[in-house]
Structure 1
Amino acid sequence: MRIINFLSMVLPTLIFAQSGNVGINTTTPDPSAILHIENFKGTPASATATVSGGAITGVSITNGGSGYTTVPTVNFYGGGSVISGGTKAQATAVITNGVVTGITVTNGGAGYTNAPSVIISGGNKGILFPNLNIVNINSTTSPVSSPANGLIGFNGGTNSNTKALHFFNAAASQWQSVTDAENTPKVAYLDFEMPVLSLLDNTIAGGSAPLLKNRPSISGVSNIIGFNVRSNQASSYSLILPAGSYLVEVNLNLNSPPESPAGQGGTAPLSGSSYYLMGYFIDFYNDTYNNTSGLFTSGASSRKEIPIVSKINTNHLATWSYYYTVPANANIDGALRLNLGRMQNSTFYDAVNVIPTGSYIKISKL
């Protein structure tokens, strides 16, 4: 998995002074140059540290600066062997009316042989990169002719590529996303919420009921852009997905209480045992959702069956996999609807409970 964290590439450079030819309005930048980017609009504060016994014992403000709208961070750089075995000191700043009025050492650290530099970093402005229309990531002519290795820009144009910062990789002769690599997995997880959902009460083979009767919760790790859960015309919930191809995995923790009355609908264990064939199916309905009008349109369904042999009052796990494709269509998303049903030749014809613990749906964008 290739995930490039752009922030870790940029932010450390903010603490160094400018040196060398950094390539702004230059044709021959020095590759060893370090650029200090000042993203603070105001007068930076300055301070000096006092060291005693290898630890920082105090910080004196030499210039409180001005223009601070949030509390800046305080960092210590240099100072001797702390960089190879010591402990770095920590401190916090106090601001009053935009001026740094105090710095409190919260951890003096250890291993300092001389006073380190004190860097007070505050920011109230961002960094604006060029807005490019990168239609073809393999193009070396458009939007930039013969782009330099490492050139950075934001793909903000009308195209199908990721709307993210891109850099040009000369070795691959390709623009590459720095925050969302092309093979970073896109997934969504849905958990079943309490109360326990009871389905298929007194239902014969072939009967079904909406599986998402209760609204599922979307896990915080879900990162499929455009994914959502909405109530539908069937008094249940549909999974809203933008154009693309997906693998949908449904995992259910099921439990069937004793039939009531006994023998309901012909319920009987398998011959000579206490086990039942508790077969199930899921009908995956390929509906569509108009994200402008908010209306659903019913679509064709696909049935996936799974036979399960189990006892009453015993949890049994059932899993289904379904490949789902949503064609590109302006304002129209896929709206996947799920019905849980009883498979043909089952020998149990009464209620089954969907236990929230252990039941979930995983969607992977392919």
Structure 2
Amino acid sequence: MKIINFVSTLFATVAFAQSGSVGINTPTPDPSAILHIENFSGTPATATATISGGAVTGITISNGGSGYTAVPTINFFGGGSIVNGGSKARATATISNGQLTGITINNGGSGYTTAPTVTVSGGNKGLLFPNLNIANLSSTTSPVASPANGLIGFNGGTNSNNKALHFFNGTTNTWQSTIDAQNTPKVAYLDFTGSLSALDNAIAGASTQLMVNNPAVSGVSNISGFKVLPNTAGGYSLILPQGNYLVEVNLNLNSPQENPSGQGGTAPLSGSSYYLMGYFIDFINDTYNNTTNTFTGGGATRKEVPIVSKINTNHLATWSYYYTVPANANANIIGGLRLNLGRMQNSTFYDLVNVIPTGSYIKISQL
């Protein structure tokens, strides 16, 4: 059995010619099956990162390398960002005369406990799969006659099927699309931490900060660039890059017996022991400069939710908010969403409410 070491292959100085046809498990390969492996034959650049506050704040180029004919890719590995439910740092490179001359941090990421490893991937190597027009996923004659089980190709033709890698399944005799990372749902989940007692003796229209405790970000969160930061106005803000989002807030609430009774006109609904415990959330659309780490206050959108419940009884309140971070020529001007919890107009209960961490969470979906 012959074992090919792809690591050594990628850094070898030899090159594979792309002329001719390449086939797998067939003596007569289709003419479109071209194996194109380009190698980086220069000297790889090296760099190191520094962190502060869980984010990458600086990158020092140790060796600019040589032989770069295209801008290389900067990547970060390790450092704890994924383990801690954080986000990965992003950066772009500049080259001059074949050398790496600068690295710009586009997003410092979050959750780093140690400095991540910086890798500089040469911009002139890659693997080119056959570019096929897979118009009919059930066809065994076109674009490949009697395709071998496991044959892989990219559907780049003019058709309605996914523009993604496909492989031929010899059991079902169909072409199947592989996972397209761009179409993978991008979500973030945040659990509330600590206790919050709010709106004590508060009249209708009064509000207070909702995220006074740093929420716990789930490890399955995968929105690139998302993080939670303390806001200079108090509390914590949801930091999101330019784009469109659905923000869903779910709060597990409980109002104890009021003390003193009748506060602000508190009274149960006529003929019952239930109260209208109405609430609102102000979604405050601040902006955040990812370079200077500064917030700029923005306008608020209010969403009200009427809840009918008894005292000392848990009641669930939910809100949905479509949040847009507008495009900006400066990619570092992004969103900093703040949340305030308040008492809705026409409520019949005007005393304390407790936000219970268990069962309270925020879900963000990138649209």
- What TM-score comes out, normalization by structure 2 length? 0.57
Q: SS state of the match for residue 202, structure 2?
A: coil
The separation in 1 between residues aligned to 2:18 and 2:233, in whole angstroms, is: 63
Mapping for residues 35-50 of structure 1, pairs under 5 Å: none
The separation in 2 between residues aligned to 1:336 and 1:249, in whole angstroms, is: 13
Mapping for residues 210-249 of structure 1, pairs under 5 Å: 210-249=209-248
Structure-2 change in CA distance of 1:184 and 1:254 (3 Å): same
Structure-2 change in CA distance of 1:311 and 1:129 (3 Å): same
The separation in 1 between residues aligned to 2:247 and 2:259, in whole angstroms, is: 34
Q: Is the counterpart of residue 353 in structure 1 residue 345 in structure 2? A: no
Query: Residue in 2 aligned with 1:191?
Result: 191
After TM superposition, give the deviation of residue 30 of structure 1 in Å: 2.9
Larger Rg: 1
Query: Residue in 1 aligned with 2:156?
Result: 170
| Residue deviations 1:236-288 (CA, integer Å, cap 9, x gap) | 00000000000000000000011111111111111111100000000000100
After TM superposition, give the deviation of residue 233 of structure 1 in Å: 2.1
Query: Residue in 2 aligned with 1:102?
Result: none
Structure-2 change in CA distance of 1:127 and 1:301 (3 Å): closer
Mapping for residues 1-366 of structure 1, pairs under 5 Å: 24-32=16-24, 130=124, 148-149=130-131, 168-171=154-157, 176=164, 180-194=180-194, 196-329=195-328, 330=330, 331-366=332-367
Structure-2 change in CA distance of 1:297 and 1:129 (3 Å): closer
2:217 partner amino acid: I
1:31 partner amino acid: G
Q: SS state of the match for residue 31, structure 1?
A: coil
What percentage of residue pairs aligned between the two structures are identical? 66
Structure-2 change in CA distance of 1:272 and 1:293 (3 Å): same
The separation in 1 between residues aligned to 2:120 and 2:281, in whole angstroms, is: 50
After TM superposition, give the deviation of residue 28 of structure 1 in Å: 2.1
| Residue deviations 1:46-99 (CA, integer Å, cap 9, x gap) | xxxxxxxxxxxxxxxxxxxxxxxxxxxxxxxxxxxxxxxxxxxxxxxxxxxxxx
The separation in 2 between residues aligned to 1:126 and 1:32, in whole angstroms, is: 32
Is the 1:226–1:241 Cα contact (8 Å) retained in structure 2?
A: yes
Is the 1:148–1:170 Cα contact (8 Å) retained in structure 2?
A: no
2:131 partner amino acid: N
After TM superposition, give the deviation of residue 339 of structure 1 in Å: 0.4
The separation in 2 between residues aligned to 1:224 and 1:301, in whole angstroms, is: 23
Structure-2 change in CA distance of 1:181 and 1:229 (3 Å): same
Q: CA RMSD in A?
A: 3.2
2:184 partner amino acid: T
| Residue deviations 1:124-166 (CA, integer Å, cap 9, x gap) | x99978468xxxxxxxxxxx9xx8427xxxxxxxxxxxxxxxx
Q: SS state of the match for residue 204, structure 2?
A: coil
| Residue deviations 1:336-358 (CA, integer Å, cap 9, x gap) | 00000000000000110111111
After TM superposition, give the deviation of residue 29 of structure 1 in Å: 3.0
The separation in 2 between residues aligned to 1:337 and 1:126, in whole angstroms, is: 36
Structure-2 change in CA distance of 1:24 and 1:282 (3 Å): same
The separation in 1 between residues aligned to 2:352 and 2:21, in whole angstroms, is: 73
After TM superposition, give the deviation of residue 295 of structure 1 in Å: 1.0
Q: SS state of the match for residue 182, structure 2?
A: coil
After TM superposition, give the deviation of residue 26 of structure 1 in Å: 3.8
Q: Structure 2: any 5+ residue segments left out of the alignment?
A: 7-14, 27-34, 38-118, 133-152, 166-177
2:185 partner amino acid: P
Aligned length: 231
Structure-2 change in CA distance of 1:316 and 1:13 (3 Å): farther
Q: Structure 1: any 5+ residue segments left out of the alignment?
A: 1-11, 16-22, 38-124, 133-143, 151-166
Q: SS state of the match for residue 264, structure 2?
A: helix
